[in-house]
Structure 1
Amino acid sequence: MKSTLTLFAAALALTLSFGAAAQNTRDYHMDVYDAGCKTCHDQGMKRFPSDDACLQCHSMEEVAKQTERHGEEARQNPHDSMHYGKEAPCQECHGEHTAKKALCQECHNFDYPKFK
């Protein structure tokens, strides 16, 4: 009986810690967290959100404009790249609950100081 209670308590603590950790990763998305996980997890909780879920709040045109570069770096815009245009899947670079590396940095050493 004691081992069953211990196992149950450990499972409960682990479950609660995943939910708490997920909500503490991105301060700028706190309003979305308050609305519930399914706001973004439109394909189910065990799958990444679709690009459509991201684009409910983020305009690809606006994001591309915000990350626009000039001069020698003009072609280094991660949201309007020479390889993917404006079609790179959001989840290839951005992770809400885990840190990710920008897709461009698999082959290039571009510096994206504001990358999150």
Structure 2
Amino acid sequence: MNKTLMILVCPLLLALSQPTLAMDKRDYHAPLYEAGCDSCHDQGLNRYPSDEACLQCHDPEALAKQTAREGEEAHQNPHDSLHYGKDAPCMDCHGEHTPKKALCQECHNFDYPKFNG
């Protein structure tokens, strides 16, 4: 490949390989996108954000209250589960740029109608 073609093609390939161009974006995280990828990707762009990055904005106690269930479903709280308590890794269920299914769904058939994986 000649140098001129490489000079033109390489930046294009690099830009297309960046996850920001091919990702789903959550409207409620818009301010974070404006701040830049490293506002969440504290471990580098090729790795998931750490739980600490998520917990800068999301309070585990508030999430547990928000997703609390009643009656027979009381133990089906994804943010306060029998298996993980309030310590389930965020990225095991939630994907910012690609949809994921809830970790619980690997073994259970719980219905989480507001789940936004």
For normalisation by structure 2, the TM-score amounts to 0.86
Q: Which residue of 1 aligns with 2:20?
A: 19
Deviations 1:32-75 (A, max 9, x none): 11111111111111111110100000000000000000001000
- Counterpart in the other structure of 1:71: 71
Q: Aligned letter for 2:67?
A: T
Structure 1 unaligned blocks of 5 or more: none
Q: How many residues end up aligned between the 2 structures?
A: 114
Map of 2:53 onto structure 1:
53
CA positional deviation for 1:6: 6.7
Match of 1:86 in 2: 86
> Alpha carbon RMSD of aligned pairs, Å?
1.9
The structure-2 alpha-carbon separation of the partners of 1:55 and 1:9, relative to structure 1 and needing over 3 Å to count, comes to: closer
Deviation at 1:103, TM superposition (A): 0.2
Which residue of 1 is the match for residue 28 of structure 2?
28
The aligned residue for residue 112 of structure 1 is 112
Q: Percent identity?
A: 63
Partner Cα distance (2:11, 2:51) in 1 = 37
Residue 19 of structure 1, CA deviation: 1.8
- The whole-number CA distance in structure 2 between the counterparts of 1:9 and 1:43 is 24
Instruction: After the TM superposition, list the runs of 4 or more consecutive aligned residues in structure 1 that deviate by more than 6 angstroms.
Output: none
Query: Quick one: which amino acid aligns to residue 20 of structure 1?
Result: L
